[in-house]
Homo-oligomer: A and B are copies of this chain.
Amino acid sequence: MDIGALLTSAGINIAICVVLLSLYSILRKQPSNVSVYFMRRLISEPIKHSDPFRFERLVPSASWIVRAWQATNEEILAAGGVDALVFLRIVVFSIRVFIIAAMICVFLLLPVNYYGQEMQHKQIHSESLEVFTIGNVKEGSKWFWTHCLALYVISCSACVLLHFEYKNITKMRLAHITGSPVNPSHFTVLVRSIPCSQNHSYSKSVEDFFSTYYPASYVSHQMVYRAGRVDKLMKDVEKIYRKLKTIETQNKMSSTPGCLCGGIMHYFKMLKKEAESVECKTSSDRSQPSQTDKERPAAFVFFRTRYAAIVAAQVLQSSNPMLWVTQLAPEPNDVYWSNLSIPYKQVWLRKIATLLGAFVFMFVFLAPVTFVQGLTQLDQLRQTFPFLKGILKQKFMNQLVTGYLPSVILMLFMYAVPPTMMLFSTIEGNVSHSERKKSAGIKVLYFTIWNVFFVNVLSGSIIRQLSVFSSFRDIPTQLAKAVPTQATFFTTYVLTSGWASLSCEVIQLFPLLCNGFRRFILRRQEEPCSNHALTFPHHTEIPRLLLFGLLGFTCSIMAPLILPFLLVYFFLAFLVYRNQILNVYVPKYESGGQFWPVVHNTTIFSLVLTQVIALGVFGIKRSPVASGFTIPLIFLTLLFNEYCRQRFSPVFKRSPAQVLIEMDKQDENWGRAEEIYKLLRTAYCQFPLLSLDLSTSQELSMAGNSGQNKDEGSSKDQESHNPDLNEIKLSS
């Protein structure tokens, strides 16, 4: 590939991006797409539907870019929580470090590489890309100190920036803990593996245990129930409700408001009777012993103070470590109820099984892909669909099919990866949505790095994929041979996959199609409720950013031409993700930047990998001085990582006692104890009386003509599915 071809490819991709982004700027102005592009706003603020048609709606504009750029940190925090802010820090970190890398690599290394050998240079646009890589510098050259210097500068600036980010994110996390309004999860411990007793129920066991050993701080508890008949019933009810609402909306449109309220009320009275037996059970009502057999050996236990909760969560309770297993409870909306029923004894087995499963999936993934790609080759196509013969004879079509079909198939298979990993993480037995997402994200990360970086590097070079495992010492040398030759591929990968993925992200193709289908084919006019709102897909986006980081680091010294394209990617990512966080994704739960240590470790891995590859290259190129200086750099980078692990990471695993005790004292001073206990009693609810959320219950109260929205409580209360409030609203 020469410079001209690269620029052409870049031009095409820029054009595609511009077209897609313009399309987005038009689509977002259409009122029918408001639920696709403004879901978050739709939920937090009512949007006027009566937007008349204007010509401006068909003109592409860059206003969204300006708005995304201008948004302050406070707005981001309000819109997406700490997780969103931490996510954007990854992008900012990448931009910063790659600006530094681009400066030194383009201005120092590019000329060194270009004039690295005595050769006849062609005209610049027909120069091969190889000329710009480290491969062009002749063996034993004295100029390798520049590469070594660049490596030092990049590694040091990356470490300094990483330290800065880790420090700030730790602060952010602590501020999130102290600054947030009373969070029920701080007071709650999830107890699993409650021992079985012949004489009394699990609930009684929990009460006995905690009132014996934590008499001063134990408040109450709430059992987890088997999700069976009742759960199914509730889902059916929800369906009926939605159908009724559709009819009712249509009736309203035909200006006969309120006529169906009687019907709705009838249904809900029926429901209320059924539901009375499954209201959230706190320890105060144990009137129905028939429920005992449905109890699962897991419970949420509420404590008087945050400190007491964290102590109960961290201390080993029983002399059998498989009984009375405690951990701090996830946030109410974060609980993954169905996994709470999994017996704790299974969890370690499930973890091993899914780990093995993910491992196997990662390594054999390419086998079926290659097989399917082989099947869809040209000859196969001609045989299967004889009518295509004519078309396929044309040279252009031929090229298109053979060139694009394999990569399309690969892309389709790749789209199946995050859901598969999510499935693995569900089977694993994670008890919260955020943990599940984090675990899936880590799996996707390993998968991506292996299948995009290593497989390409190793299969692209002479070495066979499998024989790589047999040799251990030669890895640096082999990587050093392979990476520079693959740099061209990675550059085009950034152009195509990177830029395109951002355009796809902003256009939200799948939700857009669903929305269109629903609106124009099913002809449903109501806005989808927040249940269908998307949460930020950390488990796909973080691995993608980290992969591009890895490509950037490893290629930076070898083939600096990748860096400008990468910088464009990160700038675009900055704008796109800010826009998406502000407008599209709804933060249903908050992990407090829990995933940062993973990002940090991966970046360190990328750095060390870069250094190891550089070591190999310096070895091949016979530059003992450069090799000699690289070895201490590897050691120092690992030491820095260990320092960060000591200094920062404990805060991401355990909350500091000092902070929690201060918060408890403040609550005590302000006399908020009673308020908190009341909140705790209703915070966790396995079967909320209809899973109606804020927006639908508001709509209902409007639809039922029951006057104004009577409860002016905080939106927190409403979001936590307070069954009493819902009940009042429904029966009034």
Chain A residues with a Cβ under 8 A of chain B = 170, 174, 213, 310-311, 314-322, 324, 348-349, 352, 469-474, 639, 642-643, 646-651, 654-659, 661
Q: Shortest CB–CB separation between residue A422 and chain B, in angstroms? A: 25
In whole angstroms, what is the CA distance A174 to B474 when docked? 50
Residues of chain B within 8 A of A661, CB atoms compared: 213
Q: Shortest CB–CB separation between residue A166 and chain B, in angstroms? A: 12
Given A469-B473, A470-B472, A474-B470, CB of A311 within 8 Å of CB of B321: no
Instruction: Verify A657–B321 contact, CB threshold 8 A.
Output: no
Beta-carbon nearest neighbor of A322 in chain B: B647
Q: Shortest CB–CB separation between residue A658 and chain B, in angstroms? A: 5
Instruction: Verify B472–A657 contact, CB threshold 8 A.
Output: no
Residues of chain B within 8 A of A646, CB atoms compared: 321-322, 348
The 10 nearest A-B residue pairs measured at CB: A321-B650, A316-B654, A319-B656, A315-B657, A470-B473, A316-B656, A311-B311, A348-B646, A213-B661, A174-B319
Cβ-defined partner of A472 (8 Å) among B324, B472, B656? B472
Cβ-defined partner of A311 (8 Å) among B315, B319, B324, B349? B315
7 contacts across the A-B interface (CB closer than 8 A):
A213-B657, A213-B658, A311-B311, A317-B658, A321-B648, A348-B642, A469-B472
Q: Shortest CB–CB separation between residue A190 and chain B, in angstroms? A: 16
Within the oligomer, what is the number of copies of this chain?
2
In whole angstroms, what is the CA distance A474 to B473 when docked? 15
Beta-carbon nearest neighbor of A314 in chain B: B314
Instruction: Verify B213–A639 contact, CB threshold 8 A.
Output: no
In whole angstroms, what is the CA distance A651 to B319 when docked? 7
In whole angstroms, what is the CA distance A317 to B660 when docked? 10
Residues of chain B within 8 A of A319, CB atoms compared: 170, 174, 651, 656, 658-659
Residues of chain B within 8 A of A315, CB atoms compared: 310-311, 314, 654, 657
Beta-carbon nearest neighbor of A649 in chain B: B321
Instruction: Verify A642–B352 contact, CB threshold 8 A.
Output: yes
Instruction: Verify A643–B348 contact, CB threshold 8 A.
Output: yes
In whole angstroms, what is the CA distance A473 to B324 when docked? 43
Q: Shortest CB–CB separation between residue A53 and chain B, in angstroms? A: 55
Residues of chain B within 8 A of A320, CB atoms compared: 647
Beta-carbon nearest neighbor of A356 in chain B: B635
Residues of chain B within 8 A of A349, CB atoms compared: 639
In whole angstroms, what is the CA distance A226 to B659 when docked? 32
Instruction: Verify B348–A318 contact, CB threshold 8 A.
Output: no
In whole angstroms, what is the CA distance A472 to B658 when docked? 49
Apart from A317-B656, A352-B639, A352-B642, what are 11 other A-B pairs with CB-CB below 8 Å? A213-B658, A310-B315, A316-B654, A318-B656, A319-B658, A319-B659, A321-B646, A469-B472, A470-B471, A471-B471, A471-B472
In whole angstroms, what is the CA distance A146 to B580 when docked? 66
